[in-house]
Amino acid sequence: VELDPARHRAYRNGQRIDLTTKEFALLHLLMRRSGEVLSRTQIISLVWDMNFDCDTNVVEVSIRRLRAKIDDPFENKLIHTLRGVGYVLEARQ
């Protein structure tokens, strides 16, 4: 995955991927912290810049939508869930 923050564009395998503002911010965060597991709380704080009710599913929904755009069309998945812990962006074999 390649990001062009100045132009607010994302690419995977040379293919442009259209993202919403929050999807772009989420992907940017995951890429900056690639290989590091981020909890829902960290993601909410860093992407939405606020504290949400712990019952909200905004992170799960955003991850699902981001995966649909950057993972589903490709064989190698990049966004992984560590159940009960959080999410990580990394290439796995």
Q: Which residues of the chain have pLDDT under 50?
A: none
pLDDT for 4: 94
Q: Other C-beta atoms within 10 Å of 26: how many?
A: 25
Give me the domains of the chain, ranges plus CATH numbers.
2-89 (1.10.10.10)
Can you give the pTM of this predicted structure? 0.90
pLDDT for 82: 96
The 8 Å CB, 24+ separation contacts for 68-77 are 69/17, 69/18, 69/19, 69/23, 70/1, 70/10, 70/12, 70/17, 70/27, 73/12, 73/15, 74/12, 74/13
pLDDT for 54: 62
